[in-house]
Structure 1
């Protein structure tokens, strides 16, 4: 009984994580009540909104206040945008929504990044102070909040983008604003995807809020299959290989050979895919059990034949969001914009200034400025520059969205370079239009290796940590002991091979397996659930392995 109480109250010892029994006890309890109220639309929204707030409170404590603030702010701004007859006023209100949302996100996520970058550039020693916590303590007459540290609220990057899409979609006349703040709160906080996506757009989800809910036998089967698939990806593949191999290597890369470090990178590609796609599979399954459809977030990304194709398959909800709400508004593949030109000038100045000094940075920025002026007089030059610079800006910002560090910016930049490079390479590639199996295999392998090695900037704890990885790879491959490494970690590598084999299976095979499960009777479904549960918890790591994207 005490544990049941702990599950429904805030406790750091009992987090609601999809891979822990506490969550499934929680879900069983709330789903039982949902089965009674789901046919009553208003009550259903109110119930799911309340449960979602409880879920977030269990995950983040009093940071629930930020979620509620964002909900109230964008609900009323959305109504004001819709009512206004002036385009200028509408744009102003959208700008206010974006500024408030991004300002909140930047305060909690990027305060240290911007402060450290400023200190490095201008040789100052400013410290980050949590003024929001300080003011709250003064207002509340207590010292509850720590003022010398800003803690990142879980999921803020995800629900911030959702609320921005709501305001923008209303401005674009793609949706009408919701009449009830309860319905809107439900959209913002829907608990299956709240803390790690997929990012749900208002235009896709809002129409579902007031629809009639009908959960068919097929829906139930598909939902259960998605949940089981997600648990296998996360617990069997991602967590097992991380706990038993990769974490050891990445903690001290200099203690392992270059070969072992490389194998750890290939393992990390499987881990991050299993971890993140596993979470979204479970989220999609849970939502479907309640009658709601979330967007597909992954489509066999390691089958990609070039870097651009990869980003159409990986974290699709983010990639498409950045395309529609950033890349196209700043010009897309058609033209540049004041934003893109200003971004290039500022980025050039700061980058060169950080590496050299003020005078050289000024000269370099002036050179870039003259080049930008030249694009105004040459349509061919402008075409090449505009489309490519907009891609690079989108990928750099996408990298920064993932983490408040320059290593994430570098990671995003490398992916941008990969996309731009392919655009030109495909024009001279001898195998671009080849239908031969070996040409396809080569393109997939090249893309996979490139994506894998850019991720050292994603996984590395610091630039020094990344440098130690490269040092081992370039100076200490130790091929003579490669077989010994493979044998020592043979179980891990077997799991890795199985993970990649299942990933690269043909779509027809995967669809056949899913259809077989969906059409099976309840006894077989129950047996499969029990077997999967036993396998997952047999491989369950003693050390808790949180979902990687919780930190974003």
Structure 2
């Protein structure tokens, strides 16, 4: 089940919402209702791996209790290590087993080990990272262990964040389990946020995505420089509106039930450098790697060389987190290279410019997203040749109009404005633009967005969220 489906909008969400409100101020009953709903939500999309989620919840719950009751440093450390190995073991087997076996066989030049038919469990990259953050912070005594296994299960499985995050740290979620506040204003804010997220996904991301699929589905000989640039610009917008749309819906759903989830995006495409981009893109993942891996490696406290090595390690890990393939590793290494380059002095040079720094950032991102989308290093290099040497690749058996509609160009233009450009201009030109929030005009606008989104959902085919694959 996904947020942008009719079954979720017209059956699951209304039923859970009504039951939650009937429960009133009984937090225990509300938590039980939300937990049951979350397990149904997960089982709807991934019934065969329901046991894996439950085992993960139970194992981390027990290890947390053991760590909390044990006073000796050695025993606590042992429990922590067991917990991290168990969580990484789940992630490693289901997500990376075939990748490592395939790599080993290629290096050896023959089949040393056979690959297995392993499907990726829904949300495994997200709930295992949440589990590790819970155990690590518990080991550091930032809080006590959760004694109520139902509350622990709700932290793991809360349906707005189980499949694609945000990666919520337990210390931010803990108090909300029993002390969250609910109000009509918060509920209204959540509904508005959900509608905007749904519109991002259904109206913009899906429309651009169909054009992207058509272009990347062509034989390479039919892709000229113009089509290559259109494809990657559209994909950059599709990816942002798809994932940030989901995150908006997750945050909105959280507010509807009284929870405040962390923000995952802050207009990343107006970033002035790659360093700035990673402060704005997938914020919950970036902060997780910074806090639990980068600082553990020493951060920037052990000299410049060690800092550059640590940054490189972080971005190799970031690439691997996104997918078990060399394309994602190359994407991570590529971003890590520019992060190091900016620390070496490029960042200071860019800050002296007004336009060049943004052009540089967008170009780097477009190259990186090509690795991200194409899925083959050799093929990616061919697309990059067409992008940066367009005069060498001008032939195509298809006209642009056959692959990209005028509506798609219009939505792409709207998408570019909505990436932060329009918001910055509105604040500078007229402070009254802020008065649009919570106004009658915005209510009407949201109703129209919802109606149009539902119409598109009814008339179009199902399109999964991109980050459900990670």
Q: Same fold (TM over 0.5)?
A: yes
Matches within 5 A, 1:248-397: 248-252=214-218, 254=220, 255-335=222-302, 383-397=303-317
Shift of 1:454: 0.8
- The match for 2:159 is 191
Deviations 1:63-84 (A, max 9, x none): 0111101100001111111111
Question: 1:399 aligned to 2:319?
Answer: yes
Question: Secondary structure of the equivalent of 2:300?
Answer: coil
Cα deviations across residues 108-151 of structure 1 (Å, max 9, x unaligned)?
0001100001111122314546xxxxxxxxxxxxxxxxxx5111
My pick for the range that moved more, 318-327 or 506-515, is: 506-515
Pair 1:38–1:480, CA change in 2 (3 A): same
Answer whether contact 2:224 2:390 (CA < 8 A) is retained: no
Quote the Cα distance in structure 2 between the aligned partners of 1:530 and 1:546: 24
RMSD over aligned Cα, in angstroms?
2.4
In structure 2, how many angstroms separate the alpha carbons of the residues matched to 1:495 and 1:529?
A: 18
In structure 1, the partner of 2:59 is 73
User: After alignment, is 390-399 or 41-50 more displaced?
Assistant: 41-50
1:410-432 per-position Cα deviation (integer Å, ceiling 9, x unaligned): 00000000111111234762x52
- In structure 1, the residue matched to 2:50 is 64
Normalised by the length of structure 1, the TM-score is: 0.79
What's the TM-score, normalizing by structure 2?
Answer: 0.92
Closer, same or farther in 2 for the Cα pair 1:213/1:89, shift >3 Å? same
Which of the numbers 73, 77, 80 marks the counterpart of 1:87?
Answer: 73
Gap change, CA 1:512 and 1:317, over 3 Å in 2: farther
Q: Distance in 2 between matches of 1:201 and 1:507?
A: 31
Question: Does the Cα contact within 8 Å between 1:230 and 1:279 map onto a contact in 2?
Answer: yes
Which residue does 2:41 correspond to in 1?
A: 55
**Selected match of 1:220 from 177, 187, 190:** 187
CA gap 1:106/1:476 in 2 versus in 1, 3 angstroms: farther
Matches for 1:448-459 after TM superposition, within 5 Å = 448-459=362-373
> Secondary structure of the residue that 2:272 maps to in structure 1?
coil
Whole-angstrom CA distance in 1 between matches of 2:434 and 2:195: 11
Q: Does residue 485 of the first structure (1) align with residue 409 of the second (2)?
A: no
Q: Tell me the SS of whatever aligns to 2:375.
A: coil
Q: How far apart are 1:320 and its partner, in Å?
A: 0.2
Q: Which runs of 5+ in 1 are unaligned?
A: 1-15, 130-147, 336-382
Post-superposition Cα deviations, 1:390-413, rounded to whole Å, max 9, x if no partner, equal 000000011000000011000000
Unaligned runs of 5+ in 2: none
| CA-to-aligned-CA distance 1:445-494 (integer Å, 9 cap, x gap) | 2111211211111101323432442353436665699x963796332122
- Judged with a 3 Å threshold, the aligned counterparts in structure 2 of structure 1 residues 512 and 206 are, in CA distance, closer, same or farther, namely farther
Distance 2:192 2:426 in 1: 15
Between the aligned partners of 1:549 and 1:298, the Cα distance in structure 2 is 14
Between the aligned partners of 1:416 and 1:533, the Cα distance in structure 2 is 39
Which one of the candidate residues 92, 98, 101 is aligned to 1:115?
101
Deviation at 1:441, TM superposition (A): 2.7
Cα 1:280–1:428, aligned 2, differ >3 Å: closer, same or farther? closer
Q: Tell me if the contact between 1:45 and 1:209 (Cα under 8 Å) persists in the aligned partners.
A: yes
Count of matched residue pairs: 461
Q: Secondary structure at the match of 2:280?
A: coil
1:534 CA drift (Å): 3.0
2-structure distance, mates of 1:27, 1:443: 43
